[in-house]
Structure 1
């Protein structure tokens, strides 16, 4: 492989972004023949084809998608460099690329990430939500700085990473006012037969919650299961059933939703982790997230109920 030519890389990037040589030609004000020739030369230098020719269309293949991810990072960083030069030395905005697994409640994700937004040098946050395996794969290829998850790195995932426990807390239970009045007295045994909204299979807390139900001898009527915690809360607010949430978000949840508190348990804990490729966290934003979570967010979780 020869030396990387960034002009070739830029032509490739614009073609990939616009979807065709013709549109890239119009954007770059360069003839289509020039772009086509430079693209072919770029593929020869890399020793790999980056597009599959489907009729008259170009479609990125697996190698092309990998190169595009690196090109995105390179040209995003180039844009940041231009902005930093305009703003002057010592005034560069930090960037944090964070993945949040879909089992983490969105309110919790915000509370965990909020301290990073308060850094004096400013922060540009790029936040992606998805399944754990997808996000961990992006972490392994350095597309993400950290992944916020409700469980540590699974042993069967081929990613060498490190788990940093941010904190843990018990669960609080909520319902619309009519259901809350009906089932608050005698909690938690009042939940026996009560309509209940259960977190989806990806939630690490789900099996612990079900074991707790079995241990205290109650069987709620499961009327819904939700991968999306925000959707579960919307159904709960509408009166479809009782739902639970981490104690650490109770104060904010009471302000956001027209629901009432039923009761709490510390026998079921929900945990939250920052998964990184570093054994020792060094990114200022991630350090702020961990410090605030340990010292304030989870330290005061019980008081909020």
Structure 2
């Protein structure tokens, strides 16, 4: 079994960049730290650092070990903070991961029920790729993940995916981009610059299938993982873009664009993903039970 005190010394040196800097932070002598790391390397049968000039750098094995050390000690710090907090403070924390494919205003609408609980909560939001957020959920560093897709079946996490919302999509553009008002939607989309969600977005496949069925051939001039960035390019006149119809008025007002059409043949879906140990969290229950009423 790894000696975690020695492993902590390794982590401190790797983060500080030198044994001397780490020794100052840990209030130990450099000789003590280097000696303990040498014992750790001998017990594992690997080299974690190599000498480079007067300094040291991580070996390939050391780089790998550092990723695990980050998870171990960051989780340990979070555990210490949680245990030191009173029971009331622990119950108030609601840690949410939001996939970057979920529009910010949709995320707020989905989470709003949790903000209206009788017992006020403190919400902590993290944004990122779904796979990374699910990893955080699996080790209980998040209570809930909002995504545009359910949990992938190939991910070995015992969790629950609940669809909270489904709506059609609307298409928007700056007024000068759509040349003929005589065209009937969706004819506007043919041979016109179009901005589309990135390949990681669940709606991307449904959108492209719909366009193919209509035999529309837009000029795809941009792909975006972040919906807010796609709308910014659309506002600049780069191309037509789509967004959930439920936030159409907001998109028009915020980006000074016009809506050129909408369809329910392409839908956006949003899910709350949770694990068993967090299923009874009051905020998780509130989101799962009432978000279907969003309009």
Q: Identify the TM-score tier after normalising by the shorter chain.
A: 0.7 to 0.9
Separation of aligned partners in 1, 2:69 and 2:29:
23
Deviates more, 1:164-173 or 1:17-26: 17-26
| SS in structure 1 at match of 2:102 | coil
Cα pair 1:99 1:146 within 8 Å, conserved? yes
Match of 2:153? 155
- 1-side partners of 2:46 and 2:79: how far apart? 22
Matched, 1:70 2:63: no
Question: For residues 23 and 90 of structure 1, what CA distance do their matches in structure 2 show?
Answer: 38
Give the Cα separation in 2 of the matches to 1:48 and 1:128. Answer: 36
Q: 1:49 to 1:116 in 2, by over 3 A?
A: farther
Do the aligned partners of 1:164 and 1:275 also contact (CA within 8 Å) in 2? Answer: yes
Task: Find the partner of 1:99 among 97, 100, 105.
Answer: 97
What is aligned with 1:259?
Answer: 257
User: Which residue of structure 2 lines up, in the alignment, with residue 303 of structure 1?
Assistant: none
**Unpaired runs of 5+ in structure 1?**
301-305
Q: Give the secondary structure class of the aligned counterpart of 2:188.
A: helix
Change (3 A) 1:152 1:74: same
Q: Which residue among 137, 153, 167 is the counterpart of 1:139? A: 137
The aligned counterpart of 1:289 is: 287
CA contact (8 A) 2:143 2:278 kept: no
Is 1:31 matched up with 2:29?
Answer: yes
Partner in structure 2 of residue 221 of structure 1: 219
In structure 2, relative to structure 1, the CA distance for the partners of 1:28 and 1:253 (3 Å cut) is same
CA separation in 1, counterparts of 2:13 and 2:241?
48
* Equivalent pair of 2:94/2:122 in contact (CA under 8 Å): yes
Shift of 1:149: 1.9
Distance 1:178 1:101, change over 3 A: same
TM-score, scaled relative to structure 1: 0.78
Indicate if the aligned counterparts of 1:170 and 1:269 stay in contact, CA closer than 8 A. yes
Aligned CA distance change for structure 1 residues 61 and 142 (closer, same or farther; 3 Å): farther
